[in-house]
């Protein structure tokens, strides 16, 4: 079997991307690094040859771009051209927007905290007063690393935050995403799902109610089987599969609830506590996707020759 070629798309090479490059090398894969800042894509007519050239003739794309908008549009082009990309445009589109994620999880029956979407301050305040209660959490529909996530302890806090967002925010803040605050036990759980398998999980512990590692949360090993693995796998499937990190919170009454699903997961702080070769598993999965894509292409060519 000939060696697969993977286009690793990333402009910003973090620890994660360096680890992935090492993993691909260890697996004997050819890797073409593509900096999205260096490519121009013809989209008024689909030029598959030019796209293949831009991707170094890769069998599949591993998108590690850090910008949601770029991944979204690159994914659109790749999808239209039939190029396999991990993660797919569907996964990126669904995970990159918290409202879309919530809707996808609900459609699949994945447990999550009570969540409301409003388009005016008046409705948002009414929902808090009459349905969700306080404290509650408001999150930007697009955003990561806990940025601009605010805990609303009372109506005064809510009024202040909504006024700030209305005055200073961009158009994405006009969609007000509200969630009931879950009194979690000082931690949440991040489950790494690769393909159809939860491969590792960490508790993220913090004295602060925001437990993101980007905000100082500490990681320790968590079980990735049992309820955490089950709910994470269901969430991953709900958004379209691929490679995702599912954030789960333990509600004292409801059990595990999914907060969000991340399509461009960071994992540097989770390798040591879990002892799991997360980048190795990711690279192996993308290579399997690449081989399957190549086999499909070769099969199609054979059919074409026979006809």
Binding site for other proteins (CB under 8 A): 10-14, 17-18, 21, 24-25, 29-31, 33, 35, 66-69, 96, 142-145, 147, 170, 245, 262-266
Q: How far is the CB of 4 from other proteins (least distance, A)?
A: 12
Identify which of residues 48 and 214 has a Cβ nearer to other proteins in the complex.
Answer: 214
Q: How far is the CB of 270 from other proteins (least distance, A)?
A: 12
Selection from 267, 113, 260 nearest residue 192 by Cα: 267
Identify which of residues 97 and 250 has a Cβ nearer to other proteins in the complex.
Answer: 97
Q: How far is the CB of 304 from other proteins (least distance, A)?
A: 32
Identify which of residues 30 and 121 has a Cβ nearer to other proteins in the complex.
Answer: 30
SS3 annotation, 174-239: HCEEEEECCCCCCEEEEEEEECCEEEEEEEEECCCCCCCHHHCCEEEECCCCHHHHHHHHHHHHHH
Q: Are 65 and 74 in contact (CB under 8 A)?
A: yes
Q: How far is the CB of 14 from other proteins (least distance, A)?
A: 6
Query: What b/e sequence results for 268-304 when a residue is b if at least 16 CB atoms lie within 10 Å of its CB, and e otherwise?
Result: ebbbebbebbbbbbbbbbbbebbeebbeeeeeeeeee
Q: How far is the CB of 227 from other proteins (least distance, A)?
A: 23
Q: Collapsing DSSP states into helix, strand and coil, what is residue 207?
A: coil
Identify which of residues 250 and 260 has a Cβ nearer to other proteins in the complex.
Answer: 260
Cα distance from N-terminal residue to C-terminal residue, the chain: 26
Burial of 61 (0-12, 13-18, 19+ CB in 10 A): buried
Q: How far is the CB of 69 from other proteins (least distance, A)?
A: 5
Strand partners, 6: 31, 60
Identify which of residues 35 and 298 has a Cβ nearer to other proteins in the complex.
Answer: 35
Q: How far is the CB of 252 from other proteins (least distance, A)?
A: 27
- CA distance linking residue 145 with residue 6, whole number of Å: 28
Identify which of residues 69 and 226 has a Cβ nearer to other proteins in the complex.
Answer: 69
Identify which of residues 13 and 39 has a Cβ nearer to other proteins in the complex.
Answer: 13
Q: How far is the CB of 266 from other proteins (least distance, A)?
A: 6
- CA distance linking residue 224 with residue 176, whole number of Å: 32
Q: Are 5 and 29 in contact (CB under 8 A)?
A: yes
Identify which of residues 224 and 263 has a Cβ nearer to other proteins in the complex.
Answer: 263
Q: Are 96 and 142 in contact (CB under 8 A)?
A: yes
């Amino acid at each position: 079997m000939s060696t697969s070629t993977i286009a690793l798309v990333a402009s910003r090479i973090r620890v994660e991307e360096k680890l992935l490059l090492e993993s691909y090398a260890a697996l004997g894969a050819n890797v073409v690094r593509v900096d999205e800042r260096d490519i121009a894509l013809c989209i008024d007519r689909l030029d598959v040859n030019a796209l293949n050239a831009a991707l170094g003739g890769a069998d599949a794309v591993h998108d590690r771009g850090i910008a949601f908008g770029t991944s979204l549009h690159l994914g659109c082009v790749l999808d239209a051209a039939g190029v396999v990309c991990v993660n797919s445009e569907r996964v990126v589109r669904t995970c990159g927007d918290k409202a879309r994620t919530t809707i996808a999880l609900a459609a699949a029956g994945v447990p999550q905290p009570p969540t409301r979407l409003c388009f005016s301050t008046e409705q948002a305040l009414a929902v808090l007063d009459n349905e969700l209660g306080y404290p509650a959490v408001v999150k930007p529909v697009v955003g990561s690393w806990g940025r601009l996530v605010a805990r609303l302890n009372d109506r005064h806090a809510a009024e202040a935050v909504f006024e700030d967002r209305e005055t200073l925010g961009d158009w994405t803040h006009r969609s007000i995403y509200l969630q009931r605050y879950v009194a979690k036990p000082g931690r949440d759980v991040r489950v790494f799902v690769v393909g159809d398998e939860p491969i590792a999980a960490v508790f993220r512990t913090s004295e602060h109610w925001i437990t993101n590692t980007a905000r100082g949360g500490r990681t320790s090993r968590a079980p990735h089987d049992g309820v955490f693995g089950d709910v994470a796998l269901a969430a991953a499937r709900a958004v379209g599969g691929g490679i995702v990190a599912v954030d789960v919170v333990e509600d004292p009454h409801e059990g595990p609830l999914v907060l969000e699903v991340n399509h461009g997961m960071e994992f540097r702080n989770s390798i040591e506590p879990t002892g799991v070769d997360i980048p190795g598993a990711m690279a192996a999965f993308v290579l399997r996707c690449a081989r399957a894509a190549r086999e499909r292409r070769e099969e199609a060519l054979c059919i074409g020759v026979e006809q």
